[in-house]
Structure 1
Amino acid sequence: MTVRESHLVELVDELGTALGSATVQDAHEAPGQLHRAFSVFLIDSAGRVLLQQRAAAKTRFPLRWANTCCGHPAPGEDPAVAAGRRLTEELGVPAVPMTEVGVYTYQAEDSITGRVEHEYDHVLVGRIPEGTEFRPDPAEVARLLWVVPSDLAERMAGDPESYAPWLGGVTERLLESLSPERPGGK
């Protein structure tokens, strides 16, 4: 078991109320235990979002394209604080201010590894300062790609097996947050 697999995650109910804790490994054993997670989208000055291709060593959905960064807060930890730490660990960039734009709850089994994601996923958006240099950890990230948010649905529809199963849902929350009809949206 990797060190990260031994970390604790917060188990929650369907409303996000804390119920206890489990290790990352135990929470992702079939059939999966619903637990708190976060998915980050970094947006650049041109309005593009950064995707990452997950490293081959990942225990869940390796080599699939996903949002900029994702992970699990420790029990009782603010998801934005945990997300800032993971941005530094995975991408070598400093934490940026983030806004939560919604929650996406999903369950998906990785047919290759047999591991299960069952997550109450806080979707966080941050603006990355121009000129920020990324230094991805190769144990976490295979590649990076900037894309226009409105193009993501088309990309996923054309090749769904290349994308993490949560990306569609978290992208919907992102697009809703950018909608001009939503208060605070663009």
Structure 2
Amino acid sequence: MDRESLLVELVDDDGVPTGTATVDDAHRAPGTLHRAFSVLLLDDAGRVLLQQRSAVKTRFALRWGNACCGHPAPGSSPVDSAAVRLREELGLSTVDFSAADLTDAGVYLYRATDAATGRVEHEYDHVLVGHVDAGTPLRPDPAEVAALHWIDLDVLRADLAERPAEYVPWLAGVLSVQAGATHGR
């Protein structure tokens, strides 16, 4: 399946749907604001799972990011769509993980241009947080994921500040939303 030809839901700054476009069209400069999700997976020790995006990604290839990202189909739930992508990208089975295991931490609105490809991320990004056991078997799809790595959250934040070019540009914002949701409880 060509993920670039799938439809995304265009939204305004408040997340109200305004139409649809293909993934490809929404990410062409100057970028069109659309709904997305970013999943942070934490283990019992508070470590976060990072994925290195595959070399064939059209945006920010080979950079480290959160466990999974994607776009819900128009009218679809970001949580349900994320559970599906976790199965597709990381091979998480429904026995190990389901949509019920995800918590919506909030929304992060951002725009970032990939200098290597000229593609633009302009997303109304639902930050979803889940917990999995670090020993849960993962079977990443090599078309999506080059590598996986568990890392302590404080170490990640320090490395992100020191070497931001190694990471996807939305990761710091996603971590901020997660931290705000955690501290707001």
Q: TM-score range by the shorter chain?
A: over 0.9
Q: TM-score, normalised by structure 2?
A: 0.94
In the alignment, does 2:122 pair up with 1:123? no
Unaligned segments of structure 2, at least 5 residues: none
Deviations 1:37-68 (A, max 9, x none): 00001111111110101000000000000000
The gaps in structure 1 that reach 5 residues or longer are none
Deviation at 1:153, TM superposition (A): 2.0
> Aligned partners of 1:17 and 1:27: how far apart in 2?
16
Q: Distance in 2 between matches of 1:19 and 1:37?
A: 14
Aligned to 1:32: 31
Deviation for aligned residue 1:131 = 3.1
Match of 1:144 among 128, 144, 148: 148
When the two structures are superposed, what TM-score results if normalisation uses the length of structure 1?
0.93
Distance across 1 between alignment mates of 2:103 and 2:161: 27
Tell me by how many angstroms 1:130 deviates: 5.3
Q: Percent identity?
A: 58
2:16 aligned residue: 17
Q: For 1:173, give the aligned amino acid.
A: V
Paired amino acid for 1:35: H
Aligned-residue RMSD, C-alpha:
1.1
Q: 2:102 aligns with which of 98, 103, 123?
A: 98
Matched, 1:154 2:158: yes
What CA distance in whole angstroms lies between the structure 2 residues aligned with 1:49 and 1:129? 11
2:77 match: 78
Deviations 1:64-89 (A, max 9, x none): 00000000000000000100010011
Q: Which has the higher mean CA deviation after the structures are superposed, 70-79 or 2-11?
A: 2-11
Aligned-partner Cα distance in 2 for 1:68–1:146: 10
- The aligned amino acid for 2:65 is A
Deviates more, 1:25-34 or 1:92-101: 92-101
Contact 1:29 1:115 (C-alpha < 8 Å) held by counterparts: yes
